[in-house]
Amino acid sequence: MATLKTVNLSIYIYSGTSGSYTDSDLKYTLQKSIISYQNNIVFEIAEIVRDYIDVTFNNDYVSKTVWVTTIAGLVDDTDTVFTYGSPVTNTSLAFDGYGFYEDEINPQLTAYDLISSSTIYLPENTAGKLPVYAATTGSVVIDSATTTITDNGNTNQKIQYVDIPANTNTIAVKDSGGTTQKTITVVNVCEPKYIPYKVTFINRYGVFQDLYTFKKTTERFNVTDEKFKRNIINSSTVTYGVNQAQQTRYNINATSSITLNTGFIKEDMNETIEELFLSENLWIRYNNKTLPIIPKTKNLKFKTVLNDKLIDYTIDFEFAFDKINNVRW
């Protein structure tokens, strides 16, 4: 009886609807042989697929998913392609998300709304966005208004961002059968003293999520430079002017940073804070521009109502670019 020796794996990555790939969507062809003491051949393709999910954000909220079709050709120990059960074709929808260790291998997305908390904080008189998974969500009821979610199978609408009108109170996320799967409370914060800032990040589900900060903000400026000592003697007069610098600066640049405070929040926002820290892509809405930032804070003590009574977090961010433009072609 022939035994499995090698698998030839073709990987198609594409947008549109499931199965709509063409020859130009073939991105990789991999080959792997079985290890003598094992019964399966395993391919890890997550990092390959991530290269084709374009994570860009300019205060726009669009679906960032791709279809992945793999075709596995099975070859036996006589180098003959299996005629039964080969090739094996699988198609999956890929998000730029992640699972935790406790989720075990290949966790599947089963959520309806694509945020971990049951609370959304918005500045008073400010609208927001709620990301939902179109394949599982049937409707979203915001106070008394219903938004129907339709899934046409296209990657450009698999993730849908439902508008949350200003001063909303309650959101009910329902499945296709009309059963409420999650109730979200919207807290409208009146902040008369400080300017609220919106931080947007890619959460564990691979979608854009907003987190507003409401309290004290501190901005900082860090300059880097190099120096050299020059000869300032005038060779003709053998003198120098005291207005001339003996030490000269060069390669001058700077980075800016900002410290934000969330204000008081509920304990269930701890998961959101955790996902913000684990995100590779973050932006802040600053002076009417969407700018990339990086968390400088690397350690965080989670607060609880039991231990701390009131919960708030102060987080340091660095703007992800140099102050003096040094982008070169």
pLDDT of 84 over the 80 cut: no
Could you check whether the bond before residue 292 is cis, i.e. omega within 30 degrees of 0? no
Structural domain for 54, as ranges? 4-96
pLDDT score at 1: 62
Residues 261 and 212 in one domain: yes
Q: Per-residue pLDDT tens for 4-44?
A: 889 999 999 999 999 999 999 999 999 999 888 888 899 99
**Mean pLDDT taken over the chain:** 94
Of the listed ranges 3-7, 164-168, 193-197, 300-304, the least confidently predicted one is: 3-7
323 pLDDT above the threshold of 90: yes
Instruction: Give domain status of residue 112, yes or no.
Output: no
Cα distances (Å, whole numbers) of residue 4 to 8, 29, 45, 58: 12, 18, 21, 49
Q: How confident is the model at residue 110 (pLDDT cuts 50, 70, 90)?
A: confident
Distance CA 7, CA 280 (A): 33
Contact 131, 207 (CB under 8 A): yes
**pLDDT score for 261:** 97
The whole-number pLDDT of residue 206 equals: 95
Q: What is the per-residue pLDDT for 218? A: 96
Query: Do 291 and 193 belong to one domain?
Result: yes
Report whether pLDDT(108) > 90.
Answer: no
Last residue of a domain, one of 44, 65, 96: 96
92 shares a domain with 133: no
For residue 113, being part of any structural domain is answered with: no
Q: Is residue 286 part of a domain?
A: yes
What pLDDT, on a 0 to 100 scale, did the predictor assign at position 32? 94
